[in-house]
Amino acid sequence: MALLHSLENQGNFLFRYRSYLPLVLFVPVVPIVYFNTKHELCTCYQAYFIYSALIMSILGIVIRAIAIATTPKGTSGRNTEMQVAESLNTRGIYSTVRHPLYLGNFFMWIGIVAFTFNIWFFIVVALAFWIYYERIMFAEERFLERKFGYSYMDWSLQVPAFVPCLRKYKSPETPFSWKSIFRREYSGWLATALCFAFIDQLRYYFKYNSFEYNRLSVYILAIILIVTMTIRTLKHNTQLLHEEDRS
């Protein structure tokens, strides 16, 4: 099999399971947090790790929200079985970077990794995620090239794949929609809060041999859980968040 086809097949496989494969990170997180806590590694830099982790994850959430809020129907779906695109989105955040949703995912997950307080784990995961998303992006771009031809090629030659170029920004044709953000992004908020709370509780347990629920991470998780359950109820039982021209 040619390398081109091999990379595309790998990308399609990872695309189908992209919502679940990052969960593999939870396997090494436990021993890494244990080792750091027992040996009190990086204690003098914990505040920097915490702030950096929060900033990166929040940045990832914001990037995804901007992409979702200005995306018309037929693009950037949550499909998992195969690549789907009814139209080519080239304006708004897509005029600065070709894969803003994957960029947002990267920052969300790498922020969680930074919260383990282990710089080597951070570097390894950052490199692994680059290889992981590079293959998904490759497969997606092969699909878009075949479907949209020169329209896609012209756009892709002008817009970077993963590192945004803000000077290329063009206003989106689709109006900004908070409804789209609430309807499509609440599960990501909950998953991020759950990961931070899990690591925080794990670190506390390894240090004091008990769990402590009177912590900020638990309060934030509880608030986000209430918000997301409310949004989910509104989404599935009312028309309040429904939009005809959005996915």
Mean pLDDT of the chain: 86
176, 70 Cβ separation under 8 angstroms: yes
pLDDT of residue 222: 97
Q: Quick: pLDDT tens for 55-104.
A: 999 999 999 999 999 887 766 555 545 555 667 888 899 999 999 999 99
12 compared with 106, residue with greater pLDDT: 106
What does the pLDDT read at residue 21?
Answer: 67
Distance CA 194, CA 197 (A): 5
Cβ atoms of 90 and 173 closer than 8 Å: no
Report pTM: 0.88
Contacts 24+ apart (CB under 8 A), 7-13: 7/135, 7/138, 7/139, 8/138, 8/139, 8/142, 9/139, 10/135, 10/139, 11/135, 11/136, 11/137, 11/138, 11/139, 11/140, 11/142, 12/82, 12/83, 12/139
- Total length of the chain: 247
Angle formed by the axes of helices 46-69 and 100-114, nearest 10°: 160
The structural architecture, per CATH, of the domain 3-175 is Up-down Bundle (1.20)
User: Which distant-in-sequence residues (6+ apart) come within 8 Å of 20 by Cβ?
Assistant: none
pLDDT tens per residue across span 202-237 = 999 998 999 999 999 999 999 999 999 999 999 999
Q: Is 105 exposed, middle or buried (0-12, 13-18, 19+ CB in 10 A)?
A: buried
Give helix 26-38 / helix 178-208 axis angle, nearest 10°.
40
Q: Where do the structural domains in the chain lie, given as residue ranges? A: 3-175
Q: Which two tokens stand for residue 188?
A: 């990501």
